[in-house]
Chains A and B, each alone.
Chain A
Amino acid sequence: MMELVSLTKSYDGVSVVKDVSLTVENDEYLTILGPSGSGKSTLLRVIAGLEWPESGTVFLDGLDIGDQLPHVRGLGFVQQKYALFPHLTIFENVAFGLRNRQTDPLRDENEVRRRTLDMLHLVGLDDLGGRMVGQISGGQKQRVSLARTLVAEPKICLLDEPLGALDANLRERMTVELRRIREALGVTFVHATGNEAEAMAMGDRMVVLDNGRSLQIGSPDQIYDLPASVQVARSLNAYNVMAGDTREGVFYHIGHPLPLPPGILDARYYAVRFGSLSILEAGGKADASDGSIEAAFIASEFVGSRMVYFFRDDHGDILEVEQHLSRSDPLDFSLGERRMLAWPVAEVLAFDAAGDLIAGTSRGIAA
């Protein structure tokens, strides 16, 4: 178990990690979601001991490791750019830690060989041990980097955007691989990523980081269904967020009235999931109880099993509509075509002036 206690780190007076506290359980997959510049890499580097925090510390199994150098912490760290040793073969890269580590280095070459080959087998690189680093592909490098870290059996493995440099196809395969490898070894993974789909798909729990602060911690579906604040809703890239104010139980998005669930009087942000919006027939009218807004079509995107349509409302805000192709066929619109977008009021989340979710907003869990 690892505990982060109010870690704070700044560069040249600009704080990058602000007062982050967090408990990482044993044998769990924790993802840290944050856009670039949110401080997620810095947070991992502080945990690994590669950067010193201004304040706060890290406990590993109850032991304060805050003032230890990286090589005695016993944490694994997989970097985004792999950082393989270019002068060594793949086999030597993986065996490097076993042979050279300060604590308990393996003297028995047969043992080194056995464990290295086992690990290469686990990551599916059985035949590549003799290659040099320049002779393998990006996905293979990623797996070597992972194998090199995991062969030492660290208690906790930190992964800094491990899939960031892979192409989409490989990324999807590695997503499955990573979970499989983690479960096979029972190592705790702390995986930082800027991709919300990756964070949600892979994490047993996820942390949403923005501007150096931890905004919400919970299981991915908890966070997805009830983002604690408007920043979380935005970083999930699954909500249309509109700003405005509330008068007598009605939300005004720059003059345009939108219905709110009952009992909400002070909403300043109004959010509806992409998937909750539907596009009405040309000239169609929304139900009086539903929320609706008229917007012009900009573009559409085909994403495998679903279509995403982009509309712009009269205030210049972009609204996204997600439609699963298992339910309906893709639609065709001409550029600038105006349609009514509507959604059930029960799907609406409201946030107050500070950006916090207003209690009392609850929404049926939509598929």
Chain B
Amino acid sequence: MHQLTSLKWILGFYTALFIVFLYGPFLVMGIISFQQGPEGGPQFPIIEWSTFWYKHVMGFAPPSRVAPLPVGEALFRSLTLAFATMIVSTVLGTMTAQAFRTQFKGSGFVFYLVVLGMMVPGILLGLGMALVSDQLGIARTWWGTTFVLHVVYTFPFAFLVMLAIFNRFDSSVEEASWTLGVSPARTFRKVTFPMIFPGVLSAMLFAFTLSYDEFPRTLFTAAGDVTMPIAIYGTFSVEIHPNLFAFGVLTTLFSLALLTVYAILMAMSVRRSQARSSGIQEEIA
């Protein structure tokens, strides 16, 4: 009994520490983002609370010696890239996982080949891609070379998520659909896809977030057209102003909004499946 109590304390302490390390940086960033401007810098104590740096990010602040963040285009690129990567990786990941259900010859080897994409250090892959495209005379663009590398990077994650989903999937419902005269393609659309949808959502989330803050692969392949993480890094290397933190808070809120959408979709899907098994749902027909 005594041992159990001390174990509880140790685990509790560990959890508290974990939470501090997880949210500490964000908290600091949040506080400093309300620093007085434009004279105040990233330091404690706060000289005076203000929303100056938020206005500065949005472009409402009066001109000062601090240059505005070059984020407009970078943000557009990052979001476009993340969105495109999410779609392509999820589709590819789902198709590949679907192929693995048939246990084709050499599937073990292909599995490692696919997973290698997330194992290879990003900086090497980025550098390699830059060299190859120069050799072959392919222009380095964020929508070309960078996009390809983002897909290479996120596709294995989407694939692994879908593989886990399909492992628990009972294929007898698909067989039932075929024997009812429904073609395999329509069966996938009408039966398989609705049933694996929660997994598809997770795969999309993975692909989006991984691509959204991808750094090393983008650094070498996007040439001059930077994405968000690189634009931010670029401003760091000159001088750090609290406008970065204000921007950080805003993007984090944006991510939270995305996560909320994901959670709502997921909850809806889970609630529907609970209604299926417990009988809460009222009769519809």
Q: Which residues of A contact B (CB under 8 A)?
A: 48-50, 69-77, 79, 81, 83-87, 89, 91, 96-97, 100-103, 129-135, 145, 148-149, 152
Residues of A within 8 A of B9 (CB): none
Report the minimal beta-carbon distance from B41 to chain A, rounded to whole angstroms.
56
Report the minimal beta-carbon distance from A241 to chain B, rounded to whole angstroms.
37
Which B residues from 180 to 230 make CB contacts under 8 A with A?
180-184, 186-187, 190-191, 194-195
Report the minimal beta-carbon distance from B190 to chain A, rounded to whole angstroms.
6
A131–B173 CB distance below 8 A: no
With contacts A129-B285, A134-B279 known, is A77 near B195, CB below 8 A? Answer: no
Report the minimal beta-carbon distance from A155 to chain B, rounded to whole angstroms.
12
* Size bracket of the B interface: 20 to 34
The residue among A73, A84, A96, A149 with the most chain B CB atoms within 10 A of its own CB is A96
**How distant is the Cα of A133 from the Cα of B181 in the complex, in angstroms?**
21
Which residue of the partner chain, among A79, A84, A86, A101, contacts B181 with CB atoms under 8 Å? A101
Residues of B within 8 A of A75 (CB): 179
Q: Does B272 interact with chain A (Cβ within 8 Å)?
A: yes
Closest to A45 in B: B175
Which residue of the partner chain, among B182, B195, B281, contacts A100 with CB atoms under 8 Å? B182
Q: Does B168 interact with chain A (Cβ within 8 Å)?
A: no
Residues of B within 8 A of A130 (CB): 283-285
**How distant is the Cα of A84 from the Cα of B275 in the complex, in angstroms?**
15
Given contacts A69-B178, A81-B172, A102-B182, 19 further A-B contacts (CB under 8 A): A48-B179, A49-B179, A69-B184, A71-B187, A73-B179, A74-B181, A79-B175, A83-B173, A85-B176, A89-B284, A89-B285, A100-B182, A101-B180, A130-B285, A133-B276, A134-B279, A135-B281, A148-B176, A149-B180
Q: Does B177 interact with chain A (Cβ within 8 Å)?
A: yes
With contacts A69-B184, A130-B285, A135-B279 known, is A87 near B178, CB below 8 A? Answer: no
Residues of B within 8 A of A152 (CB): 180-181
Q: Does B102 interact with chain A (Cβ within 8 Å)?
A: no
Report the minimal beta-carbon distance from B114 to chain A, rounded to whole angstroms.
26
- Which 10 pairs from chain A and chain B are nearest by CB? A130-B285, A97-B180, A101-B181, A134-B276, A134-B277, A130-B283, A77-B179, A83-B172, A83-B176, A70-B178
**How distant is the Cα of A103 from the Cα of B180 in the complex, in angstroms?**
10
**How distant is the Cα of A48 from the Cα of B177 in the complex, in angstroms?**
12
Which residue of the partner chain, among A69, A79, A85, A102, contacts B186 with CB atoms under 8 Å? A102
With contacts A84-B173, A132-B276 known, is A71 near B285, CB below 8 A? Answer: no
Residues of B within 8 A of A132 (CB): 275-276, 279, 281
Residues of B within 8 A of A74 (CB): 181
The residue among A70, A103, A134 with the most chain B CB atoms within 10 A of its own CB is A70
Q: Does B273 interact with chain A (Cβ within 8 Å)?
A: yes
The 0/1 profile, CB within 8 Å of A marked 1, for residues 243-281 of chain B is: 000000000000000000000000000001101111101
Q: Does B239 interact with chain A (Cβ within 8 Å)?
A: no
Residues of A within 8 A of B180 (CB): 71, 76, 96-97, 100-101, 148-149, 152
Report the minimal beta-carbon distance from B272 to chain A, rounded to whole angstroms.
7
B186–A50 CB distance below 8 A: no
Report the minimal beta-carbon distance from B94 to chain A, rounded to whole angstroms.
17
Closest to A135 in B: B279
Which residue of the partner chain, among B177, B179, B273, B278, contacts A86 with CB atoms under 8 Å? B273
**How distant is the Cα of A364 from the Cα of B64 in the complex, in angstroms?**
113
Residues of A within 8 A of B283 (CB): 130-131
Which B residues from 150 to 184 make CB contacts under 8 A with A?
170, 172-173, 175-184
A-B contact pairs, 12 of them (CB 8 A): A71-B184, A74-B181, A76-B180, A77-B176, A87-B195, A96-B180, A96-B190, A130-B285, A132-B275, A132-B279, A134-B279, A148-B176
